[in-house]
A and B are shown apart, each in its own frame.
Chain A
Amino acid sequence: SESQYDYEVYHSLEEIQNWMFEMNRSRPELVTMLSLGKSYEGRPLFVLQLGKRSCLQKKSVWIDCGVHAREWIGPAFCQWFVKEALSTYKYDSVMTRLLNHLDFFIMPVFNVDGYRFSWNTDRFWRKTRSKNHKFHCRGVDANRNWKVKWCDEGASSHPCDDTYCGPFPESEPEVKAVAKFLRKHKRHMKAYISIHAYAQMLLYPYSYKYAAIPNFNCVESAAQNAVTALYSAYGVRYRYGPAATTLYVSSGSSIDWAYKNGIPYAFAFELRDTGHFGFLLPESLIKPTCTETLKAVKAIASGLLKKC
């Protein structure tokens, strides 16, 4: 049951999906479970919609975790977010206001096939698990498969490479399903947040060019508020800024696609750490990492309820 679920350990895909069913069953006033479609290997792509029911259409926030299979702290954070949202609704004024005025769409595991493969076979798998009939290698980098500056610098057109962009944009059913959902809800979707690891950064568009986004001031301010909130928890510093200048110019990723498709605030978090454990962040660090990241996400969401 919900009270026994341990949010400070990593969970298998099956455990996470059972947990989602339980969230949906136990908190019907705030939770609706959706399925966006099927993965390459036929697994359901589940999403939890969080928010007080309302007959008025509310602004929405999308959060996906686990685009890259080996980045386990992502799914841990998505589950942490849901747990904190549900347990602090009506007790924490900020979360109460957020759930009353916003709908959150949380996808704890975007790359369900890859995540499962990283649990059972290859701990450092990154890609999806699609097959390429001409090559023995499998999988596409789901963050290089979006229809924006597709397969450019920093992506590879070779199926055996970790940054393989795929045979064509949205070739991956997981990416296609999420893109279709976001396109359908774009009028109300005000923020897109993608959780990755590791590097301790908060990035926003563009990745593929040095130009500044039109609403740079508002997005930069939201990012600054977010990393300030994050720092307030344990004093961990995050770098933030446009992906192209903060990291390197690379081909389009999901945040560029979201922004290009009209979602005004698009962020990618690279969570802890900066390389000491890398993808192997110990379970003992799940709580502090998720606690600080929650503060950042709440800061971003709160900003949506203000004018900028």
Chain B
Amino acid sequence: TVGAVARDVRGNLAAGTSTGGTTGKRWGRIGDSPVIGAGTYADNRACAVSATGTGEYFLRAGVAQGICAMMRLAGMDAQAAADQLIVEVGEMGGDGGVIVVSATGETAFSFNTSGMYRGRADSIGLNEIAIFTD
């Protein structure tokens, strides 16, 4: 799975996710696709999110929309909201991660796997690529 989230100079957010699913999947399974609300979500009032991982758990936890709701309604920051939803996914038995950009341009990664291929950049000069947890 690959994904991106962005905030442009006008303050608009967007999110996108694209995936090949899982090896050997059958029966027209679509639970591992990035369903809107679970794997992908964007709301200028809060954040934009793209997820990767065992999709069915992200559906059941309502991960992407849940992160935005926690930020908008409970005032959580992007990292705290993302961490909480990834913990919930893990408690159900799922794994994976999310990338988040907030309405104010803050970016966050959260994942419960040993690594996630990831990167981020901004207008201030941040430019980083990482793979493993540390």
A complexed with B: no
Interface residues of A (CB under 8 A from B): none
Interface residues of B (CB under 8 A from A): none
